[in-house]
Amino acid sequence: MADAGKYQGSTQRDACRILQRFFLHPNLTRLPHLCSVKHFHTQAVPQTVKSKLFLYISLFADLGIAAAKFAGALFTGSASMASEGVHSIIDAVSQVLLIWGVKSSQRPADITHPFGYGRELYFWSFIVSLMLFSLGGCISFYEGWSRFHRPVFEGNAGWNYAILGIAFVFNSISFVSAYKEFNKHRLAKSFWAAVIRTKDPSTIIVLLGDIGDLLGLTVAFLGIFLGRVFQNQYFDGIASMIIGLILIVISAILIRESRSLLMGETIAVEHLKVIIQLVEEDKAITKIKKHFSIYRGPEDVLLTLTAVFNKHLSSQQVASAILDITTRVKTKYPKIKQMFIEPVLK
């Protein structure tokens, strides 16, 4: 807490110096009620993270399914079942990393990270996406390819069908949980538009992962069924390769979105227009010259504006206007945890 106070005081002094340079007003520092921590309250606020119950549901579902799939693969020798088991293990590890990312992102700001740790979630989401590609898709594809060189057709298909049915039920539960969370913030957007524009990668990783699971289970069932019907061992390998391709496509989408969030995405254009309009409605503002914004977490936005103020205003009036504008914008958009307005010349 002592470090937080140090940063508050530092931010306060910087704000006062900006106004003093702009107005060349030597008495600005004699305005204690405006240049106080109470009014220039800009310390980092811990990110407000929504309920992540669906992550735990998905974790326990994946662990149970993985155990069942590997048991089935052991008794039947099915390559597609083994590929599905690998997929479930990767999913379980992904949930653990995402849970860690969520918890890490909630750590408060400190001396080395004055804006907090909100982007931890974006980092771990990117790692999970890479894991899904390399350890999920590529291994499944390789396993299917290797079956063409050593085709195996043995075991009781009933084991596979039973395990696939159990896995489908548990994956459906996980999918419904993730889809409900996804729909809470989807609003009127289409499915893919919401996936692309979301700022919470943990939701789409679980959701698209569950979709991949359900598609993979369907392909695995067809591989086993067609192999038995036509007495052809190659259907199993083909199914495993298709499962690998499904994972590769899904992981490519997730890598793209996670990378974009990690690099830094701005507020939606429609929201920026409303914010600029709201700020320019204030009589103290002549116009907004530039705006910069970045998501530091799903519920944590940093916004900086450079504004031309009415030249007839005193430094005290400008400071009051900045406080008032900042309060109104944050009230309308609670995700904006940090906001800075810098006075500039025309």
Residue 133, CA distances (Å) to 139, 245, 261, 317 in order: 9, 10, 18, 56
pLDDT in tens, 95-109: 899 999 989 888 888
Q: Determine the Cα–Cα distance for residues 119 and 186; give it in Å rounded to an integer.
A: 22
Q: What is the spatial order of strands in the sheet that 300-309 belongs to?
A: 285-297, 300-309, 336-343
- Angle at the Cα of 294 from the Cα atoms of 290 and 298, rounded to 5 degrees: 150
pLDDT in tens, 32-58: 333 333 333 334 433 334 467 888 998
Average confidence score pLDDT of the chain: 79
Q: Which residue, 3, 30, 40, 8, is CA-closest to 320? A: 40
Task: Compare 142 and 246 and report the one with higher pLDDT.
Answer: 246
Burial degree of 4 (CB within 10 A; 0-12, 13-18, 19+): middle
CATH class entry, domain 2-43+267-343: alpha beta
Residue 321's Cβ-side half-sphere holds a number of Cα atoms within 13 Å equal to 23
DSSP code per residue over 321-335: HHHHHHHHHHHH-TT
- pLDDT the model gives residue 78: 67
Q: Which band of pLDDT confidence, cut at 50, 70 and 90, is reported for residue 309? A: very high
Using the predicted structure, report yes or no on whether residue 292 has a pLDDT greater than 90: yes
| Domains of the chain by residue range | 2-43+267-343, 53-263
Quote the percentage of the chain above a pLDDT of 90: 26
What's 9-39 look like in SS3? HHHHHHHHHHHHHHHCCCCHHHCCCCCCCCC
Residues 6+ apart with CB under 8 A from 139: 83, 86, 244
Using the predicted structure, report yes or no on whether residue 26 has a pLDDT greater than 60: no
- pLDDT the model gives residue 172: 93
Q: Determine the Cα–Cα distance for residues 73 and 142; give it in Å rounded to an integer.
A: 16
User: Which among 38-42, 136-140, 290-294 has the top mean pLDDT?
Assistant: 290-294
Q: Determine the Cα–Cα distance for residues 88 and 342; give it in Å rounded to an integer.
A: 50
| Domain range 53-263, CATH architecture | Up-down Bundle (1.20)
In 10 A of CB 122, how many CB atoms? 27
* Whole-structure pTM value: 0.75
